Each structure stands twice: as structure tokens, then as C-alpha cells.
Amino acid sequence: MASAPVVVGVADHNGWAALVCVSVRDGLPEVIDRRRVELIEPGLPALPYEHETIGMNAAEAERLIQEVRDSAAHCAERALSRLRSGLGTAREIVSIALRTAPLPQLPGSAAEVHASWPVTVRADAMLYHDALCTSAASLGIIVDTFARGEERLRAAEATAATAERLDRFLSGLRASLGPPWQQDHQAAAARAIAALGRYTTLQLDKAR
């Protein structure tokens, strides 16, 4: 029997992320897991580009950035590995779905980051986004991305529903799932549903 496809919707933040796993049951999207995961180990700064490395000498700054990047990569891979293991063989994570990266790529040094304030305030978010994408790829998981604010429209299209119907479905999940079910979780679920439509057929109008 083939494994049911699962997409991990992600709402990533500086140092942590909300993960919402969506699969399919009888053509309907179904949230099967949600959790908060830490993307940095205790004792390390969550915003090294924007805060700690400003004013540091170059060598110290690069050492700290590398330590944080290594920790983020380790935490992201551990979180995805544990999630996949916990879902068991009946479910297969086919992709993770995130917002579009906040930067095209991370500059090569802290000094290059600090040369631009718009880059400085996005670089930490990019660090964690990159860690999630790289870790997923290393585990053989596809990465799907959606522009911020576009995920609900794409999810509606994937389920052959109106945007209003999708919003009712997402907000209504709080009743069955219980708290926490905030905007972050809904956005992550929308990303997951939008991506899941690429791997299976979804029809939201079957929902009661």
C-alpha cells in the first residue's frame, strides 16, 4: 500500500518555526501534526547579524555566525528527521512549504551584510530559512515556496475552492484541533495545502 503524501507547512521565525503537517483523507486536506521546533541551540544568539556581530572584529563575527549557522542546520535537520520518524511508514513527507526566501542569498561575510541595513534586518531570517531548505534537501525532501500572502490563494486553487471558503476551512480547524491555532498556523497550513495539491487531488467542497 502506498504511503499517504504529507507536506510540512512552515512558518519560520528567528530561532524557531511552527510546523503544520497536512495530508489527505478522502480528497480532503487533513492536519495530522503541528509543533513548534527550535532552530538554534540554547546559549546562542537568535539574531547574530542584526545584534551581536555589529561592532565585533571580523574574525570574531565570522566565528559566531558560523556557530549559529551550524547550530541552525543541525536543529533543522533534527526537527525534520524526528518529524518524519514520528509519522511512520504510512505517511511520507514529500515536501516542505515555506514563504519565499527573504533574500536571494546570504552575503559571504558579516561585513557585507552590515553594509546594507535592509540586508542586515533580513539576514537572520535568511539564515534559518536556508537551514530549513538545506536540511530538507539533504533528507531528500522537496522544497516548495510561496510569496508571502499568496499561500491562501494558491491553497484555494489547489482545493478548487474560493478564497472565502478556504478561509472558513482554515479558521474552522481550531474547533477540531484546539489551541494553539493562530495566524501563523493557518498560514503554514495554507502553504502545505497549496503544495500538497501538486502531489494529490484535493477537493475542499467535500468538507462538511
Q: Please give the pLDDT value at position 2.
A: 65
Neighbours of 201 (CB within 10 A): 11
Q: Which residues contact 150 (CB under 8 A, 6 or more apart)?
A: none
CA-to-CA distance for 198 and 182, rounded, in angstroms? 25
CA-to-CA distance for 43 and 29, rounded, in angstroms? 38
Q: Where are the alpha helices (DSSP H) in the chain?
A: 58-87, 110-114, 117-138, 151-158, 163-177, 183-196
Q: Map residue 4 onto helix, strand or coil.
A: strand
Q: Kindly state the DSSP code that residue 20 receives in the 8-state scheme.
A: E
Residue type, 62: E
Q: Please give the pLDDT value at position 80.
A: 97
Q: How confident is the model at residue 133 (pLDDT cuts 50, 70, 90)?
A: very high
Q: Please give the pLDDT value at position 207.
A: 46
Q: Please give the pLDDT value at position 184.
A: 94
User: What's the pLDDT tens digit per position in 32-50?
Assistant: 999 999 999 999 999 999 9
CA-to-CA distance for 160 and 142, rounded, in angstroms? 23
CA-to-CA distance for 82 and 101, rounded, in angstroms? 24
CA-to-CA distance for 193 and 113, rounded, in angstroms? 34
CA-to-CA distance for 182 and 197, rounded, in angstroms? 23
